[in-house]
Amino acid sequence: MRKIISIAVCMLACSMVFAASFSSVEGKLFNDKSFIFPDDLLEERSVIIALTLSSSRKNGEEQQKHFIEWQKKLKETSSKLNSITVYHISVIDGAPFFVRGAIRNGIAKEYGDLVKETQGGVLYLSKSERFASDARIPIDGEPTLVVLSATGSIEGFVKGAYSSDRMLQLQSLLGM
């Protein structure tokens, strides 16, 4: 019962906070093609954005490990969410242009075959705090799974490493 109450409180808090959306910014997919985030990722139904927002390289790498576990759990055949598209997007603040390709390739390599080259990418920003603030998502070192509607509005997000409770929160945000 306590789990149900905590999930309900979290969902209520998320629903009251959101009417936010991401600013449109240019990024690079793992396959080196340019894209506009989030516009080019929108589909006919909601998608999940595994968003790495961190203040350090080490924390970004830790979040990526958690997202790899999330990806495996989301794509299991027994998962209710295995048909939902998941995009893995890393936000990198202040990277010099001459190392950006190496950074993107390193991130893509860590995901390996788990994530298609067209479902992962990097946004190189000079003000990631402003980007996160505009979307009303705190930069707190936790992996963030954002549910993005077909119209581009943020329906809510789940923060943290995979757990069955967080999976239920994600399902609830997706109306499942």
All structural domains of the chain: 2-173 (3.40.30.10)
Average pLDDT for 1-6: 50
pLDDT band at 1 (very low <50, low <70, confident <90, very high): low
pLDDT the model gives residue 153: 95
pLDDT the model gives residue 126: 86
pLDDT digits (tens, 9 = 90+) for 120-167: 999 999 888 899 999 999 999 999 999 999 999 999 999 999 999 999
Tell me which residue has tokens 């998962």: 79
Paired sense of beta strands 47-53 and 154-159, if any = unpaired
Average pLDDT for 85-112: 92
Looking at 4-18, 19-33, 121-135, which range is the least confident one?
4-18
Please tell me the distance from the alpha carbon of residue 7 to that of residue 131, in angstroms, as a whole number. 27
> Does 45 score more than 90 pLDDT?
yes
Q: Which two tokens stand for residue 48?
A: 């999940």
pLDDT the model gives residue 19: 64
pLDDT the model gives residue 34: 97
Paired sense of beta strands 120-125 and 86-93, if any = parallel
Q: Which two tokens stand for residue 30?
A: 């793992």
DSSP three-state, residue 130: helix
Average pLDDT for 91-111: 91
Is-above-0.85 flag for pTM?
A: yes
Q: Is the model more confident about 74 or about 12? A: 74
Tell me which residue has tokens 């990198």: 92
pLDDT the model gives residue 96: 83
> Does 99 score more than 60 pLDDT?
yes
User: Mean pLDDT score of the chain, rounded to an integer?
Assistant: 88
Q: Is the model more confident about 54 or about 107? A: 107
> Does 14 score more than 60 pLDDT?
no
> Does 77 score more than 60 pLDDT?
yes
